[in-house]
Amino acid sequence: MEYILIIIGAVFVNNIVLAQFLGICPYMGVSSKVSTSVGMSGAVMFVMTLATVVTYLIYHYVLVPFQITYLQTISYILVISSLVQMVEIILKKVSPALFQALGIFLPLITTNCAVLGVAILTVQKEFNLLEGVVFAIANAIGFALAILLFAGIREHLDLMGVPKGMQGAPAALVVAGILALAFMGFAGLV
């Protein structure tokens, strides 16, 4: 039950993009086509889950015992960026097909604040390891849901007569705002 609450909370109620404003850069950047959004979502899910596990272990088995929790930000960002590099290298060797699909999105993920944000939130919310993993996967699903819905709308938006000053980013942001409005309907669910 507890896990179901975490999942519903992270996917719908506190959606990572539309309610918490994390991962806006890829959200605006790669959401012009549904196909690229799928690739980005896959890469985010992969890295976010891995990063949460690794940073959880580092926090509880290195930072806390040595009483250096103030190094959290520095150590997390270093771990995440090297993790992304490692995933890239391993994926290239083990599964070239998956690498082809996720390849160009992986380097972008280092500066995706959603990954670091979820890692820090897992510590702040005092989750245990399993809860942290469920939380990370649920947030990645929430990211995928938001970006896919948005990409679907943007593909149609291209065919519409948008006023000149509103073309591009402004129209996309207003659409995201309306989407966020729709997601507010989930508030109070958990």
Partner 1 sequence: MSQLKNFTKGFIKENPVFVLLLGLCPALGVTTSAFNGLGMGLATTFVLVSSNVVVSLIKSQIPDKVRIPSFIVIIASFVTIVQLVMEAFLPDLFASLGLFIPLIVVNCLVLGRAEAFASKKNLVSSLVDGLGMGLGFAFALTLLGAVRELLGSGAIFGYPFIQGDGMLVFVLAPGAFIGLGYLIALTNLIKKNE
DSSP annotation string for 101-153 = HHGGGHHHHTT-HHHHHHHHHHHHTT--HHHHHHHHHHHHHHHHHHHHHHHHH
Q: How far is the CB of 176 from partner 1 (least distance, A)?
A: 4
Contact pattern for partner 1 over residues 137 through 166, marking x by CB under 8 A: ----------------------------xx
Of 113, 148, 153, 157, the residue at the interface with partner 1 (CB under 8 A) is 113
Q: Which stretch binds partner 1 (CB under 8 A): 49-57, 86-94, 112-120, 134-142?
A: 112-120
Q: Which of residues 48-107 bind partner 1 (CB under 8 A)?
A: 70-74, 77-78, 81-82
Residue 185 amino acid letter:
G
Does residue 116 interact with partner 1 by CB under 8 A? yes
Q: Which stretch binds partner 1 (CB under 8 A): 13-21, 34-42, 89-97, 152-160?
A: 13-21
Of 57, 86, 184, 189, the residue at the interface with partner 1 (CB under 8 A) is 184
Q: CA-to-CA distance for 40 and 50, rounded, in angstroms? A: 16
Residue 36 Cα to chain centre, angstroms = 15
DSSP annotation string for 152-187 = HHHHHHTTS---GGGTTHHHHHHHHHHHHHHHGGGT
Count helices and strands in the chain by DSSP H and E runs? 9, 0
Does residue 28 interact with partner 1 by CB under 8 A? yes
Q: How far is the CB of 21 from partner 1 (least distance, A)?
A: 4
Does residue 37 interact with partner 1 by CB under 8 A? no
Residue 126 amino acid letter:
E
Residue 128 amino acid letter:
N
Q: How far is the CB of 36 from partner 1 (least distance, A)?
A: 17
Count of residues interacting with partner 1 (CB under 8 A)? 42
Q: Greatest CA span in the chain, whole angstroms?
A: 60
Binding site for partner 1 (CB under 8 A): 18-25, 28, 70-74, 77-78, 81-82, 110-113, 116-117, 120-121, 124, 165-166, 169-174, 176-178, 180-181, 183-184
